[in-house]
Amino acid sequence: MSMPRSRSSRRLAVALAGALATMLDSPVAAQPQGPPTVEEAQSFLVDAEARLLDLWIQRERASWVQSTYITYDTELLAARANEETIKATMELARAATRYDALELPEPWARKLRLLKIALTLPAPSDAAQRAELTQIAARMEGTYGRGKWCPGEGKECLDIAAISDLLAASRDPKELEAAWQGWHDISTHGMREDYRRFVELGNAGARELGFQDLGALWRSKYDLDPVAFEVELERLWLQVKPLYDSLHCYVRARLTETYGPEVVPPGKPIPAHLLGNLWAQQWGNVYELVEPKGVADPGYALTERLEKAGYDPIKMVKTGEAFFTSLGLAPLPETFWERSMFVKPRDRDVVCHASAWSVDQKDDLRIKMCIQVNEEDFNTIHHELGHNFYQRAHNTQDPLFRDGANDGFHEALGDTLALSVTPKYLIRLGLIDKEPPADADVALLLRQALDKVAFLPFGLVIDKWRWGVFSGRIPADRYNQAWWDLKLKYQGVAPPSPRSEAQFDPGAKYHVPGNTPYMRYFLAHILQFQFHRDLTAAAGETGPLHRRSIYGSRVAGERIEKMMLMGASKPWPDALETLTGSRDMDASAVLEYFAPLKTWLDEQNRGQVCGWQ
């Protein structure tokens, strides 16, 4: 979810940008003359979908080869396929604006809308500005990708992976501060002015498609007025904020015990470098510092159980597939097992970051992972297969509808299945003999909350900052101040040392220079619990929500398949209603899931000064 791209992918982006600037100057097909007609719009859509489908397939094939066999040539081939796809999408998106005033049947009108919002970075039609934009995009990715912090003379320089490992493992606050500050300064050096111009050019491209700015285009992907969507996000956040506040208060108190009140003052924001993650987005790496005292241990370590049971990568994937078939879904095709990459090859460089693929937009489904036999990869497999089963279902739709109901749905579905990897499910697999006692729930839930609950405000901050920048509410001379104002307001964290407008701390998170929208992850962290609650209820599961599993439920499987088959053909409230019976996103399931933890946290927080100034 939040991992940066591999170095090879960043080289690919640089290759892409250089070639794209040239490609976009090629002649564009002549536009129709005279007033647009319904018949012309229909013909345009038929041709556009056929053209894009062919390009998507070629791009996926080239990208698969590049990701599983990294060479200079495969990177260039993948870049060329991506260039062609972007070029065609930009041309077709602009052409689609010709039909804005027509009264069209809803499926056609929806396809035109989806076509116009397909790109996250529409380039201006001016050739010089297009070239400038692609060059800036490549330069920012290159700046981030080349970033290495050198601790001092005679010490090895560290890339982001090594710095992340240090942040996760070290308990020396001075070492942590140096590494945190080093990455934030090195990875964004010279990026600030590039980003200011990037915003200007991206906004120009968005306005040519009829949007107020780039942020309005992004928010238009959610079947709501852009302003209404922001209001909806704030409503969801306020639902879960009391749970986050309790977690924040407890973690800060434990960190104060570890580091002392001079380093972690009570009643103040938590210093960002002490939470085990460069961006303070997930706190699981500090579990050993905050683990609950006086509660039962779960009594098992899943990694050890998997190893003892003789699991290998293939058996782990087979087990994940069996979860889906237990719901009544058809098995994956034989080509999945022939063409997927399950382990890291010995003879070549590959991109190990887990991903799910639908190469031919039909049934050539694959996953790409360097699987290790451990708990994390066991859960990840269930998540990635969720994407595959969703892809196969919506591939029955017309090309422009071959996607999730919104981008949060695709992420949430896989995470929903991962939530069903409960002790009850592990008993069914023979990996454990009995469920842990109820008083072990606190330890299990705290470990989950440090990642899933701690992430929620961070999931909002990145795009709230960018939307403010795109709209002009956050001017260039307040980029850094506005970033830390938002992190303070929502996360209750602060930089370890004073920061100024000489820095560009938002750029230290890949998704900012990489221009990757982030709101899908916030939505997925809300929706997965709503999906889990309503599917387990439909399956007849009772008892605490965090102990329920939909494994083996044909009723839950029918709901999931019906929703998946819709793809993006209907607004997401229709898909949500199909799955859950409700048309509204609801974060109350998050509160129900973590209710035992919330009660325990509030007991631990008695006498503490909670909140932050």
Catalytic positions are 353-354, 383-384, 387, 411, 511, 521
**Contact criterion met (CB below 8 Å) for 582 and 559:** no
First to last CA, the chain: 31
**Closest by Cα among 240, 243, 249 to 607:** 249
Q: How far is CA 142 from CA 187, 189, 273, 384, 504, in A?
A: 9, 11, 25, 28, 16
Q: Are 465 and 506 in contact (CB under 8 A)?
A: yes
**Which amino acid, 395?**
N
Could you write out the DSSP letters of every residue in 97-156? GGGTTS---HHHHHHHHHHHTS-SSPPPSSHHHHHHHHHHHHHHHHHHHH--B--STTS-
Which tokens in the block code for residue 153? 């003379």
Phi, psi of 239 (to 5 degrees): -65, -40
| Bridge partners (DSSP) listed for residue 358 | 365
560 with 576: CB under 8 angstroms? no
Token reading at 528: 């997965």
Please check whether residue 495 is in contact with residue 485, taking contact to mean a CB–CB distance below 8 angstroms.
no
Contact (CB, 8 A) for 369 and 350:
no
Per DSSP, the residues of 496-540 read SS---TT--GGGGSTTTTTT---HHHHHHHHHHHHHHHHHHHHTT
Residues 247 and 454 sit within 8 Å (Cβ to Cβ): yes
* Cα 165 → chain centroid: 21
User: Which residues are registered as beta bridge partners of 271?
Assistant: 494
**Which letter does DSSP use for residue 400 in this model?**
G
Nearest partner of 512 among 199, 116, 232, 204, judged by Cα: 199
Question: What is the rounded (10 degree) CA torsion for 473, 478, 482, 485?
Answer: -130
DSSP 3-state of 184: helix
* Identity of the amino acid at 373: V
